[in-house]
Amino acid sequence: MKPWKTNRRRDLLDCGKFLRVEAHEVELPDGTVIPDWPWVISPDFINVVAITTKDRYLFFRQTKYAIEGTTIAPVGGYLEPGEDPLETAKRELQEETGYQSADWTPLGAYPADANRGCGTGHFFLARGCTHVGGEVADDLEEQELLRLSRGEVEAALDSGEIKVMSWVACVAMGLRA
């Protein structure tokens, strides 16, 4: 199989560092040209399944603009330009929870949308997390740090309390690792 070829790109919308939309002229392997294929550019992001030295999983109960009610969420955040995904994961774990880990396992990197872009999610498992302090509360939404047992994480996953697709994937992968 041959990949699609991008012939041209043009900007449709620029909302700054968090969202851009382009129209791509793409050529299919059979020569068919699609003149206005939408492509969404948003920053790559990380999600972390973090487990403390006492076998508690660090999650948040929080609100998000696109979610009705509350959700259970793993540690997460956007990569800064040029930042390595693992460094982002370490930074976000420290900033959001005040915990650090020396035991990191990458769980893979996955495009948010195979046909439209939307950034790539980099997933990690952090074991043996210890609290060192220094949390930075800079998120826009309210959130409560939770320390859950594995059973509580599995129940949250099974009941749909984890309401974002990338979070579900990361948590399921972290539980399997």
Average the pLDDT over 10-29 and give the result.
96
Question: HSE of 51 in the Cβ direction (CA atoms, 13 Å)?
Answer: 18
Number of H-type helices and E-type strands within the chain: 3, 11
Q: What is the pLDDT of residue 145?
A: 95
pTM, whole model, 2 decimals? Answer: 0.92
The model's pLDDT over 104-118, given as tens digits with 9 standing for 90+, comes to: 999 999 999 999 999
Average the pLDDT over 120-140 and give the result.
89
Q: Residue by residue, what is the 3-state secondary structure of 67-120?
A: CCCEEEECEEEECCCCCCHHHHHHHHHHHHHCEECCEEEEEEEEEEECCCEEEE
- Topology adopted by domain 45-176: Nucleoside Triphosphate Pyrophosphohydrolase (3.90.79)
Nearest to 145, CA basis, from 68, 101, 93, 100: 93
For the chain, what are the domain ranges? 5-41, 45-176
Q: What is the pLDDT of residue 140?
A: 67
Across-strand partners of 45?
78, 121
pLDDT higher than 70, residue 63: yes
Cα(111)–Cα(116) distance, integer angstroms: 9
Query: Cβ(78)–Cβ(41) under 8 Å?
Result: no
Q: How confident is the model at residue 139 (pLDDT cuts 50, 70, 90)?
A: low
Q: What is the pLDDT of residue 135?
A: 83
The model's pLDDT over 142-164, given as tens digits with 9 standing for 90+, comes to: 889 999 999 999 999 999 999 99
Give the whole-number percent of the chain exceeding pLDDT 70. Answer: 98
Structure tokens belonging to residue 107: 């769980």
Q: What is the pLDDT of residue 84?
A: 97
